[in-house]
Amino acid sequence: MKTGDTLSQNDAVSWHLVAALVENKPGVLFRVTNLFRARSFNIESITVGSTEQVDLSRMTITTKTDEKTLDQLVKQLRKLIDVVEVRVLETSKSVYRELALIKMKAEKPTARMEITTYASIFRANILDIDKDTIMVEITGTPDKIDAFKNLVNSFGIIQLARTGVSALPRGENV
Amino acid sequence: MLGAEALIKALEKEGVDVVFGLPGGANLPIYDALVDANLRHILVRHEQSAAHMADGYARIKRKAGVCFATSGPGATNLITGIATAYADSSPMIAVTGQVPLAMIGKDAFQETDIIGVANPCTKYAFQPRAAAEIPETVKKAFYISESGRPGPVLIDIPKDVQQAREEVAFPNLIKVRGYNPIVDADLSQLERAVQAMMKAEKPIIMAGGGVILSGAFSELQALAELLMAPVVTTFKGKGSFPENHALAMGPIGMHGHAEANKIIIEADCIIAVGARFSDRSVGRFDEFGKGMTIIHLDVDPAEIGKNKAADIAVVGDVKSSLRTAVKMLTKYKIVKRAIDDPWLKRRKELIDYYADSIKDYPRELTAKKALKKLRELLPHNAIVTTEVGQCQMWASLHFDVIAPGTFFSSTGLGTMGFGFPASIGAKAAKPRSIVVDIAGDGSFNMTENSLAVSVLDKLPVIVFLMNNYMLGMVAQWQRTFYKRRYSGVHQQNCPDYAKIAEAYGAQGIRAQTMEELDKALKKAMNTDVASVIDISIDPEEDVYPFVAPGTGLKDMITGA
Ligand SMILES: Cc1ncc(C[n+]2csc(CCOP(=O)(O)OP(=O)(O)O)c2C)c(N)n1
């Protein structure tokens, strides 16, 4: 994003992926989340994990916001000393995935059948079954996970855990 | 060497000559190392004042001031001063003691997570976990604090780290990879900015604190004179441009000069230099600058578009950006606006109009007359700071700063109690200058125990106490917005400030009339001890003009 030019006056809210490389040391996640809180940036998900470089972590942040707030979010993130690099990823030029674990009621055999069928259509894995429940693991874009969740909602979701999104730019882009 | 010794040596290597602080259990090793140091230590009576002194020192020296405190309450007492420095982008290194590493997280005696507390009001906070880390930490702290957009940095040192004896090395070069404070201004953006400046028929320069922080005084003046553009400042930028200059219009804002607030809304092009379009300066963001070309020069990319979208933005140190802009303009050999140009005539017209239409308060001694007297008697190179409230806004309105960089105030945070300790810090930075704190009684109350420092450490300053025995600014808002229902604003003639001064060995002088004020000032300027001039101000005297919060500059009220 340019620092120089006129900001677009577009205040339509849309979904954005922000990727950051940060120092791999204690306190960094606190500094980032404290910044979001202090400046009222609305974050949908944030993931942190190791990278190909031992001393750097990759953070992926998703947010629903307008262009002006996104511009501020990126610039304020860049100001943090422990944040080495920040980029807004274009969804069409990146791969982004989330993982969810969903535990559902499945007392009747028909329910088990149905859930197993849906799972295979969504390429989800059955991780655990006991006499009353099934746990499914699904990986995909947040939309796909939403779709699956809506589909199985009627069985009765007992517990659900989503990891938040991880993303990398496609191809040779780094 | 011990961690504490490494700290002192590292500070000395950074050229630190004075530190302000107060000891306690968790920084005893540091205080022990101070005994053999080549540093002047100034013992404060409250850690908040140590931070304000370091801040005042920094604003005059234009390098980081240093303050020390112990863990827990010592460290939290610093926070108001650190937050004040952060809000005004002032460089500062705050060194706190911490409980030993093994005790951290155990809710130990005097343990506070000061890194967590300080996070939102520091540029960075370090906690070295070994003595050998200290020299590099100090070097990084100074680099981060003083470069780019300056600000405070905290170094929290566990007591066992201070006491550890380790092999330490002092690096000459350090690198912080996530921190690239200086961006070279984009020349094509500057070129666009210069074109827009030349095209403008009614250009106005809005100079902010960034001009003072980068010392871009002569560059700003050169730009103004080349363009023959009137110059308004933000309050933080007061003193970035000589206020007796033929193009000067004074500060804009909530209590800005009427002519400045008026002219900026008539301009067709605003050249904002090192300014952040704060609500106190520009009123409503949506109204301000509508239909005008906004050119924004700032060192901090995050300021671009934060409060106000810019048509042309130039990110970089404003001193170098201005220098380049001036070179470009000189090359284009622009034809200077003649003095009878309609825009410059308009400037004169507005100044004359408001000089006549804003009436002074009907009393023999008024805030305005007192401050004009102060200006008349003080040499141009005297350093002036303020407390917060009406006293501060009167200073902004009626005290003209002539020599650039000789005025500062807590403008971003508005911290009562800042001015007096900060004036002592300024005196430590420039001992030969006369230093004055334009104070209100409520504010002075908050840190008046710094009189001990002013007297004992021979850092005499003049407290120009505009005493209405009121939390005057709050009282004014209660008069204006709450139908005179006063609540919690009366100081009830307590205390006697001349006696307070005398109790500390300072000079206390009362001034009830203009004649007494004249004498008191001359007396204060001619002694080498701190003076408190207790000036009687009518509790009903208001500050005008006034742009009420949530309104625009055009809605300015010029009198009751
Ligand atoms: C630490 C702090 N507490 C409260 C305030 C709110 N406040 C702003 S101005 C003011 C009154 C200041 O009174 P005084 O110092 O006597 O100055 P005056 O307005 O009378 O000139 C107050 C209480 C503040 N700015 N800072």
In this prediction, residue A4 has a pLDDT band, given cuts at 50, 70 and 90, of: very low
- Interchain proximity A4–B124, CB inside 8 Å: no
Contact yes or no for B303/B276 (Cβ under 8 A): yes
Rounded distance from Cα B364 to ligand 1 centre (Å)? 25
Task: Kindly tell me the burial class for residue A117, based on how many C-beta atoms sit within 10 Å of its own C-beta (0-12, 13-18, 19 or more).
Answer: exposed
Task: Write the DSSP symbol of residue B42.
Answer: E
Q: Give the Cβ contact number of residue A55 at 10 Å.
A: 11
Q: Which is more confidently placed, B234 or B559?
A: B234
Which residue CA neighbors atom 5 of ligand 1 most closely? B416
Summarize pLDDT for B315-367 with one digit per residue, the tens: 999 999 999 999 999 998 777 788 789 999 999 999 999 988 889 999 999 99
* CA A6 to the chain's CA centroid: 30
Find, among B25, B3, B5, the residue nearest to B161 by Cα.
B3
Q: Which long-range contacts (CB under 8 A, 24 or more apart) does B135-139 make?
A: B135/B6, B135/B9, B135/B10, B135/B13, B135/B168, B135/B169, B135/B170, B135/B171, B136/B171, B136/B174, B138/B7, B138/B10, B138/B11, B138/B14, B138/B93, B139/B10, B139/B14, B139/B170, B139/B171, B139/B174
Contact yes or no for B367/B399 (Cβ under 8 A): no
Give chain A's end-to-end CA distance (angstroms, integer): 15
- Interchain proximity B178–A7, CB inside 8 Å: no
- Average pLDDT on B462-476 reads 98
In this prediction, residue A10 has a pLDDT band, given cuts at 50, 70 and 90, of: low
By most ligand atoms within 8 Å of CB, the mutation choice from B84, B388, B492, B546 for ligand 1 is B388
Residue A30's φ and ψ, nearest 5 degrees, are -60, -45
Residue A29's φ and ψ, nearest 5 degrees, are -65, -40
Chain A: residue whose CA lies nearest to B118: A31
Summarize pLDDT for B69-116 with one digit per residue, the tens: 999 999 999 999 999 999 999 999 999 999 999 999 999 999 999 999
Query: Within an 8 Å CB–CB cutoff, is residue A75 touching chain B?
Result: yes
- Average pLDDT on B232-247 reads 97
Query: For residue B559, what pLDDT is reported?
Result: 84
Rounded-to-integer distance, Cα B229 and Cα B248, Å: 9
Find, among B433, B414, B370, the residue nearest to B423 by Cα.
B433
- Interchain proximity A5–B313, CB inside 8 Å: yes
Interface test with B, best of A81, A83, A84 (most B CBs within 10 A): A81
- Interchain proximity B300–A79, CB inside 8 Å: yes
Summarize pLDDT for A91-110 with one digit per residue, the tens: 999 999 999 999 999 999 99
DSSP per residue over A80-136, as a string? STTEEEEEEEPGGGEEEEEEEEEEEE--SHHHHHHHHHHHHHTT-EEEEE-SSEEEE
Summarize pLDDT for B272-289 with one digit per residue, the tens: 999 999 999 999 999 999
Rounded-to-integer distance, Cα A114 and Cα A130, Å: 16
Query: For residue A9, what pLDDT is reported?
Result: 54
Query: Active site includes B499?
Result: no
| Average pLDDT taken over every residue of chain B | 96
Catalytic residue among B110, B189, B478, B491: B110
Contact yes or no for B236/B173 (Cβ under 8 A): no
In this prediction, residue A2 has a pLDDT band, given cuts at 50, 70 and 90, of: very low
- 88-117 in B: which are within 8 Å (CB) of A? 115-116
- Please name each of the domains of chain B with its CATH number: 3-163 (3.40.50.970), 187-355 (3.40.50.1220), 367-543 (3.40.50.970)
- Interchain proximity A78–B144, CB inside 8 Å: no
Kindly list the domain boundaries of chain A, sorted by start residue: 14-89, 95-169
* CA B49 to the chain's CA centroid: 15
Q: Which atom of ligand 1 is nearest to the CA of B443?
A: 15
In single-letter form, the type of residue at position A42 comes to: N
Asked if domains A14-89 and A95-169 share a fold, the reply is yes
Task: Write the DSSP symbol of residue A7.
Answer: P
- Shortest Cα distance, chain B CAs vs residue A30, angstroms: 9
Summarize pLDDT for B182-206 with one digit per residue, the tens: 778 999 999 999 999 999 999 999 9
- Average pLDDT on B491-515 reads 97
Which two three-digit tokens encode residue B517? 């004020």
Contact yes or no for A157/A149 (Cβ under 8 A): yes
Q: What percent of chain B has pLDDT over 90?
A: 95
Query: For residue A174, what pLDDT is reported?
Result: 75
CATH classification (class only), A95-169? alpha beta
Summarize pLDDT for A20-51 with one digit per residue, the tens: 999 999 999 999 999 999 999 999 999 999 99
Rounded-to-integer distance, Cα B172 and Cα B169, Å: 10
Query: Active site includes B464?
Result: no
Q: Which candidate from B179, B302, B315 shows the least CB-CB separation from A4?
A: B315
Contact yes or no for B191/B183 (Cβ under 8 A): no
Q: Is the ipTM of this complex over 0.85?
A: yes
Contact yes or no for B265/B294 (Cβ under 8 A): no
Query: Within an 8 Å CB–CB cutoff, is residue B491 touching chain A?
Result: no
CATH classification (class only), A14-89? alpha beta
CB of B440 closer than 6 angstroms to any ligand 1 atom: yes
In single-letter form, the type of residue at position A131 comes to: K
- Interchain proximity B178–A6, CB inside 8 Å: no
Q: Give the Cβ contact number of residue A40 at 10 Å.
A: 7
Looking at the predicted structure, is the pLDDT value of residue B245 above 70?
Answer: yes
Query: For residue A6, what pLDDT is reported?
Result: 44
- Average pLDDT on B237-257 reads 96
The number of residues in chain B equals 560
Rounded distance from Cα B389 to ligand 1 centre (Å)? 5
Looking at the predicted structure, is the pLDDT value of residue B475 above 60?
Answer: yes
Query: Within an 8 Å CB–CB cutoff, is residue A12 touching chain B?
Result: no
Summarize pLDDT for B30-54 with one digit per residue, the tens: 999 999 999 999 999 999 999 999 9
Query: For residue A3, what pLDDT is reported?
Result: 38
Query: Within an 8 Å CB–CB cutoff, is residue A83 touching chain B?
Result: yes
Query: For residue B403, what pLDDT is reported?
Result: 98
Specify which residues A138 forms β-bridges with. A100
Looking at the predicted structure, is the pLDDT value of residue B509 above 60?
Answer: yes
